[in-house]
Amino acid sequence: MTGRNSRDQALRERAHRVIPGGMYGHMSTARLPAEYLQFFSAAHGSRIWDADGHEYIDYMCAFGPNLLGYRDAGVDAAARSQMSRGDTMNGPAPLMVDLAERLVGMVDHAEWAMFCKNGTDATAMAMATARSHRRRRKILVAEGAYHGVAQWCVLRGDGVLPEDKAHVLTYRYNDIDSLAAAARAADNDLAGIFATPYRHDTFRDQEPVLPEFAAAARRICDEHDALLILDEVRTGFRLARGGSWESLGIAPDLSCWGKVIANGHPISALLGSDTARDAVTRIFVTGSFWFSAVPMAAALATLDVIEASDYLERIEERGHQLRDGLRQQARHHGFALRQTGPVQMPQMLFEDDPDLVLGHAWTGEALARGVYLHPYHNMFLCAALTEQDVRTTLERTDDAFRALRRRSGDTRAGKQQHANRGLGYDEEQVDHAT
Amino acid sequence: MTGRNSRDQALRERAHRVIPGGMYGHMSTARLPAEYLQFFSAAHGSRIWDADGHEYIDYMCAFGPNLLGYRDAGVDAAARSQMSRGDTMNGPAPLMVDLAERLVGMVDHAEWAMFCKNGTDATAMAMATARSHRRRRKILVAEGAYHGVAQWCVLRGDGVLPEDKAHVLTYRYNDIDSLAAAARAADNDLAGIFATPYRHDTFRDQEPVLPEFAAAARRICDEHDALLILDEVRTGFRLARGGSWESLGIAPDLSCWGKVIANGHPISALLGSDTARDAVTRIFVTGSFWFSAVPMAAALATLDVIEASDYLERIEERGHQLRDGLRQQARHHGFALRQTGPVQMPQMLFEDDPDLVLGHAWTGEALARGVYLHPYHNMFLCAALTEQDVRTTLERTDDAFRALRRRSGDTRAGKQQHANRGLGYDEEQVDHAT
């Protein structure tokens, strides 16, 4: 490995001296198999290249931002063009209004937009807006749901006090009784309910939202005059061309967007309905680069493609092609691979693999063959992925399954198949049908 | 005005429909005189252009980020070059390590670096790191000091609960007794002390730090095994090529940087000493675009200029030229103009002008003549400003003073001069001498 990834190794050693822990946040490879790379030198379309120059077909999309393909020509041309006029100035460029109008036109519930940089900025603004709305305190979030790294919502780590979460109550996703109980506990102090469009927690199977759960969240907010907040940071424009719950007929009061809006250029957004307009004007939020014009120009170009092309249908087709192929391969090789979530945001976990031994081994074998999968975080597909890319991917994953069988022995593979049958488990049942 | 700024006016009307309040944060013009523009179409060097195409010599620098001149050719070439390889990817580009090493080499106290997007990200990380350090709670901040918009530090607005600031204590800037009293109140629970390199609160005169105050902050942190945090977001690389307290011989444990690092490209940073390394590895922080390569490439190019050029001396020269010229003009026209803070970050307030009537009128007259000043926020000078730019500026401000005298009548001007003499006030005494 050292020979193959000697540059990555040398960079890691330097990084360990000047970056705490060698890296941090979602870019840390501390929990990933040893062969996972830390540094990347280039990206284009559906491909990434590591620091040592190896090429991969990529299924992470930078943890989401890459929607249309890395360095999409149209998006980057718009960014370069705006860069030749102005970026961070004393005020926003006129296109900020165009961008707000465009999003309001695309997302049904939205009647206004505000722009920021991080997903966390959008969720923090939503949280403060909910508290401002009727000057109440209680915020309901699903257990284990990731809404960013602000003190009130961060899931792990030091530096957080009980006071930071004193008025944050949890419920179980898709569990109406649990949600209703949390709302009763909040009583007249209920400010808002956060929900992700579907359940996409790390390290576990993804779950589609139950339509009756989404409806219950809306109804409880209405009964309490509280705000329903849909956190679309991870899902935005990968499930639909508008809000992810529009197909269910459920409109949130606020929705949080990030990652894909400008295909990797840094911008996030809070969208809201008129119900929340007064409340949001009473909070104070800002950031040095929130009004910069280049990411907004990139966003307009990205939204052009979202509105006018078949990017979404193509991503879904590729997602089904990948899922079907992997299902057959796993069966053929005797492994019980659970593929959950929407096909364009797949999660892949092995049955009976609590320590991710199989997951690490299989994704490591795929990585060595030029396919970048993730062993425990949901993945993301982009519109630059071709049918041939997925065919090539499947050839390589087939080899990776074969290598996995050699590594773990036929006993393990047999046990996997047994587990599969024994539980009556059919991965098709957990396919997400958004 | 409507004729002259009809495009800006039309954009504002559209913005009011789709952006709450028409605009938000530090880009809102709600507190500015009516003639201030909301939208800007271009920026280059020391110049900005509003949406109607009028050109201004700019003294705001996008509230700081513009250090070398808007669209600096070298910085933007580095950004474009990196954009043609990759920006937001599955991991950082190798140049993240170069950038961390570079900052560690430039800022004396720094032994490591972490990158983020907003100034608030850096201050929030510092706050959580201080609490993580010895697992204590109390954070000391100066009354009225701006450290961002996180719940624990935001200065105004709805959506903040008493619990968010339950363990944040305040002291008066430059007041050692007040700082010591706050530290005593925190007792064994003191986690850290925040300070800005000098006092630069909005709406008031700026104050240089007293060296004995800086030394006291360091000593108190040492006695308590707490962390000293220097918030350089606004000051970074405009007062010095390294940390702003290095000339005083005072080293913080953490320093927060933003705005100028990449001359307007979006990146901020937390720098720390080894004392704080373990603590920062225990907090969890991340952001979708924190590891993006383009702003890091722009940062390296910016730091090249900071290290190798006389940018700082040139900005200071222009700052003195402006301050001296305005001092003479104000005297000549009979106005008591207080110019405070470092010349490269000037604050300009009129004596006996609590409602900013004179300030608004004068900066409004300057604006109409193509000079962008700010009536109550500290301004920023950039290295692209030429001697001729300042001469042109002074011709226009001279006219603006003349117009102000006509508007307010000689009585008001005489009263100003009287106030000036009566208080024995000499604006030279409040010039900042960093």
Label residue B427 by pLDDT band (50, 70, 90): very low
Provide the pLDDT for residue B151. 97
**Residue in B closest to A60 by C-alpha:** B90
Taking CB atoms and an 8 Å cutoff, what residues of chain B touch A259? 288
Taking CB atoms and an 8 Å cutoff, what residues of chain A touch B287? 25, 117-120, 149
Residues across chain A: 434
> Do the Cβ atoms of B131 and A283 come within 8 Å?
no
Helices A357-368 and A387-422: crossing angle, nearest 10°? 160
The ipTM (two decimal places) reads 0.95
- Confidence check: pLDDT of B426 > 70: no
Pick the residue of A13, A158, A232, A253 with the most B CBs within 10 A to test the interface with B by mutation. A158
Which member of A64, A93, A287 has the closest CB to residue B288? Answer: A64
Provide the pLDDT for residue B417. 56
> Do the Cβ atoms of B124 and A150 come within 8 Å?
yes
Q: Which fold has domain B6-63+313-430?
A: Aspartate Aminotransferase, domain 1 (3.90.1150)
Same CATH fold assignment for domains A6-63+311-430 and A73-308: no
CA–CA–CA angle B137, B142, B147 (5° rounding): 80
| Cα distance between residue B70 and residue B126, in whole Å | 30
Helices A176-186 and A211-224: crossing angle, nearest 10°? 10
Pick the residue of A49, A288, A290 with the most B CBs within 10 A to test the interface with B by mutation. A288
Taking CB atoms and an 8 Å cutoff, what residues of chain B touch A11? 94, 97
**pLDDT tens-digit map of A395-419:** 999 999 999 999 877 545 556 754 5
CA B35 to chain CA mean position, Å: 23
Tell me which residue has tokens 């795929």.
A366
Taking CA atoms, B44 is separated from A252, A358, B48, B384, in Å, by 42, 55, 6, 9
Taking CB atoms and an 8 Å cutoff, what residues of chain A touch B257? none
**pLDDT tens-digit map of B80-94:** 999 999 999 999 999
Provide the pLDDT for residue B408. 76
Pick the residue of B5, B17, B19 with the most A CBs within 10 A to test the interface with A by mutation. B19
- What's the CATH number for A73-308? 3.40.640.10
Q: Assign B111 to helix, strand or coil.
A: coil
**pLDDT tens-digit map of A20-43:** 999 999 999 988 998 899 999 999
Torsion sign over Cα B33, A286, B113, B195: positive
Q: What is the DSSP letter of A246?
A: G
- What's the CATH number for A6-63+311-430? 3.90.1150.10
- Nearest CA-CA partner of A293 in A100, A82, A112: A82
Label residue B430 by pLDDT band (50, 70, 90): very low
Residues across chain B: 434
> Do the Cβ atoms of A83 and B80 come within 8 Å?
yes
Provide the pLDDT for residue B411. 47
CA–CA–CA angle A236, A240, A242 (5° rounding): 75
- Domain range list for chain A: 6-63+311-430, 73-308
> Do the Cβ atoms of B264 and A26 come within 8 Å?
no
Taking CA atoms, B411 is separated from A367, B405, B414, in Å, by 80, 9, 5
Q: Which residues contact B308 (CB under 8 A, 6 or more apart)?
A: none
- Over its length of 434 residues, how does chain A's per-residue pLDDT go in tens digits? 457 899 999 999 999 999 999 999 999 998 899 889 999 999 999 999 999 999 999 999 999 999 999 999 999 999 999 999 999 999 999 999 999 999 999 999 999 999 999 999 999 999 999 999 999 999 999 999 999 999 999 999 999 999 999 999 999 999 999 999 999 999 999 999 999 999 999 999 999 999 999 999 999 999 999 999 999 999 999 999 999 999 999 999 999 999 999 999 999 999 999 999 999 999 999 999 999 999 999 999 999 999 999 999 999 999 999 999 999 999 999 999 999 999 999 999 999 999 999 999 999 999 999 999 999 999 999 999 999 999 999 999 999 999 999 987 754 555 675 454 433 333 444 444 33
| Cα distance between residue B104 and residue B88, in whole Å | 24
Tell me which residue has tokens 């005083």.
B248
Q: Which residues contact B78 (CB under 8 A, 6 or more apart)?
A: B297, B298, B300, B301
- Nearest CA-CA partner of A430 in A355, A343, A358, A363: A343
> Do the Cβ atoms of B284 and A120 come within 8 Å?
no
**pLDDT tens-digit map of A302-334:** 999 999 999 999 999 999 999 999 999 999 999
CA B199 to chain CA mean position, Å: 11
Predicted TM-score (pTM) of the model is 0.95
